Amino acid sequence: MSAIDIMKIFVLPVIYENNDPTYKYTFTGSGIRVVHNNQHFFVVTKHQVRNENKYSPNQLCVPSADWSCFIPLSSENFVAGMDEAEDIAVYKIEQSLSCNAGIKSDFFELNSLSSDNKLFMYGYPSKEFLPEYEKNHYNIKIVEKSAHYSCEVNDFKSRIYVDLDENYDFDGFSGGAVMLIEPNQIKFVGMITNANSEGLVEFYRADKIKMILEALVKGRGFL
């Protein structure tokens, strides 16, 4: 299985179901399926799912395990009371809806990062790839970009620079993943919150997302 195929298990498109028979779904970026303490979560940026002018949170969908249809999500948890994590939203998902639930990634702490490590970011750029429906299957392409670590922004966020030959439109990468891929090992470094066309990307660090999920698992939701 290639790295792209593996990342389609972790990084999923954010889909909204429309009340329009012609345009049934709207594609609005990326999100990450995370397994923690045998519970399954869908982690996205809050600005993707709280656009009150366009969407209602209960219209949010993720692909089914075989990507043959989109299944609505529920049980939303928005992080509040933490200014540094104000753009994180977490959904609980059933394991049966989760793609290849047996494959997991490790939460990676950046203090273990060396200059020799090459990072990769994954997402679904909305202007480059739109959902296509063909033979009862939705074809949505994930994009991979290589990057290198830049610096820490605050207690929750860090920055990377994407390796670019020219400017790139990263619209749709919000909620995408920053990963460290090594032989026989995949490590979750963080979730993208914003990026500019020159390749400067900010992301929430995986160890901080893990802290939030631990609180949710223990019933201390940030609501």
Radius of gyration from C-alpha coordinates of the chain: 16
Of 218, 156, 220, nearest in space to 191 by CA: 156
Q: Name the more confident of 215 and 77.
A: 215
pLDDT band at 145 (very low <50, low <70, confident <90, very high): very high
How would you label 91-108 residue by residue, b for 16+ Cβ within 10 Å and e otherwise? bebeeebbbebeeebebb
* Burial category of 207 from C-beta neighbours within 10 Å (exposed 0-12, middle 13-18, buried 19 and up): middle
- Domain residues for the domain of 99 are 3-217
Domain-embedded: residue 77: yes
Residue 200 lies inside a defined structural domain of this protein: yes
Could you tell me if residue 172 is inside a domain?
Answer: yes
pLDDT at residue 97, rounded to an integer:
55
- Assigned domain for 111 exists: yes
3-state secondary structure 153-170: CCCCEEEEEECCCCCCCC
Q: Parallel, antiparallel, or unpaired for β 60-63 and 70-72?
A: antiparallel
Q: Is residue 222 part of a domain?
A: no
CATH number at residue 75: 2.40.10.120
Considering the domain boundaries, does residue 182 fall inside one?
yes
pLDDT tens per residue across span 146-161: 998 888 888 889 999 9
Q: How many domains does the chain have?
A: 1
110 located within any domain:
yes
Q: Where does the pLDDT of residue 57 fall: very low under 50, low under 70, confident under 90, or very high at 90 and above?
A: low
Residue type, 74: S
Tens digits of residue pLDDT in 171-213: 889 999 999 887 777 888 999 999 888 889 999 999 889 888 8
Contact between residue 153 and residue 192 where contact means Cβ atoms under 8 Å apart: no
Residue 223: what pLDDT? 41
Provide the pLDDT for residue 99. Answer: 53
Q: Give 6-40 pLDDT, tens digit per residue.
A: 788 888 888 877 777 776 777 778 999 888 887 77
31 or 97: whose pLDDT is higher?
Answer: 31
Q: How far is CA 2 from CA 94, 97, 101, 184, in A?
A: 26, 22, 17, 11
* Percent of the residues in the chain that have a pLDDT greater than 90, as a whole number: 15
pLDDT per position as a tens digit, 111-129: 777 666 789 999 988 765 5
* CA separation for the pair 48, 110 (Å, rounded): 26
What's the rounded Cα separation, in Å, for the pair 104 and 155? 25
Nearest to 13 by CA among 87, 122, 119, 88: 122
Residue 203 counted as domain residue = yes
